[in-house]
């Protein structure tokens, strides 16, 4: 009769958990105190805010005809930016992973460039392109392309880092070139994730295309900002309602597709 196995020894207690918690609390308190709102001013402005919000309802549905073309343009911007951006992000992601990068130099250069691309907000990209190319959908598309590259390349490169190394070693054992190893040993493993990330990015681009429009980069955002400037809040409410319905429908379809793929 075998003796029962002894329980494993408890790991020694370390002060790092308590130190980390205290640091988190201290930083949170510091942020709250630094950003403390002016409650007196906020309460004084509640009446004015109530008057403004009352002008949002009911929406001016007679304005719907003028929103059709901008809504279509917003959808087109999101589609073009997603297709081009996700297409560029695929090789960029492979170069940003230690598993699939050809060498350390390429890996670090690609990672550095990708960090710069991701660090700049899409609205700032739109401002730069609007200043360079004037108002219109093209600056918005270019801004969303860079935004898409940053999102998909980051997510996909982390997925590549966690792939099974067996198919990669098998491809290398046959004498395959580096590109062949990536195509046969890495791409099939991450392809479902890549498609899911692309669909998710398309959702983000639909929302972002409305935001970049505020700075003149085309789409429904440009119309929304124009109506806001003229205090046509009932028209603003209609545009917001249309955006909400479009995003909900696209998100519902995209989520169903992602579930089937992953």
Query: Which range is least confidently modeled, 55-59, 149-153, 194-198?
Result: 55-59
Mean pLDDT of 143-157: 89
d(CA 144, CA 176): 36
Q: pLDDT > 70: what percent of the chain?
A: 86
The residue extents of the domains of the chain are: 54-261
**For 54-261, CATH number?**
1.10.3720.10
Q: Quote the pLDDT of residue 84.
A: 92
DSSP secondary structure string for all residues of 44-72: HTHHHHHHHHHTTSS--GGGGGGGHHHHH
> How confident is residue 161, by pLDDT bands cut at 50, 70 and 90?
confident
- Residue 107 tokens, joined: 């890996």
Is 177 or 55 the better-scoring residue by pLDDT? 177
Mean pLDDT of 143-168: 85
- Residue 21, pLDDT > 80, answer yes
d(CA 77, CA 92): 22
Length of the chain: 262
Mean pLDDT of 107-136: 84
> Which of 50-64, 77-91, 115-129, 241-255 is modeled with the greatest confidence?
77-91
Q: Quote the pLDDT of residue 233.
A: 78
- Residue 9, pLDDT > 70, answer no
Q: Quote the pLDDT of residue 237.
A: 84
- Residue 11, pLDDT > 80, answer no
| Average predicted confidence (pLDDT) for the chain | 80
d(CA 158, CA 163): 9
Q: pLDDT > 90: what percent of the chain?
A: 1
Q: Sign of the CA dihedral 222, 226, 228, 234?
A: negative
| Strand extents, DSSP E, the chain | none
> How confident is residue 165, by pLDDT bands cut at 50, 70 and 90?
confident
d(CA 201, CA 110): 21
25 alpha carbon, distance to own chain's centre:
29
- Residue 42, pLDDT > 60, answer yes
């Amino acid at each position: 009769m075998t003796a029962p196995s002894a329980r494993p020894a408890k790991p020694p207690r370390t002060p790092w958990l308590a130190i980390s918690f205290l640091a988190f609390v201290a930083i949170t308190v510091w942020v709250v105190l630094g950003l403390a709102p002016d409650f007196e001013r906020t309460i004084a402005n509640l009446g004015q805010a109530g008057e403004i919000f009352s002008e949002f309802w009911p929406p001016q549905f007679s304005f719907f005809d003028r929103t059709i073309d901008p809504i279509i343009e917003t959808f087109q911007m999101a589609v073009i930016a997603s297709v081009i951006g996700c297409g560029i992000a695929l090789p960029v992601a492979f170069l940003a992973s230690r598993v699939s990068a050809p060498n350390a130099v390429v890996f670090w250069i690609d990672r550095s460039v990708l960090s710069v691309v991701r660090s700049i907000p899409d609205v700032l990209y739109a401002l730069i392109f609007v200043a360079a190319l004037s108002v219109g959908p093209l600056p918005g598309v270019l801004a969303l392309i860079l935004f898409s590259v940053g999102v998909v390349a980051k997510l996909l490169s982390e997925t590549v880092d966690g792939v099974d190394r067996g198919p990669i070693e098998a491809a290398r054992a046959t004498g395959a070139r580096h590109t062949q190893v990536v195509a046969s040993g890495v791409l099939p493993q991450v392809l479902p994730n890549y498609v899911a990330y692309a669909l998710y990015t398309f959702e983000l681009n639909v929302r972002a295309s409305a935001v970049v429009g505020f700075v003149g980069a085309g789409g429904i955002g440009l119309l929304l900002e124009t109506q806001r400037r003229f205090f046509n809040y009932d028209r603003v409410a209609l545009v917001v309602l249309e955006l909400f319905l479009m995003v909900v429908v696209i998100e519902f379809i995209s989520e169903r597709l992602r579930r089937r793929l992953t």
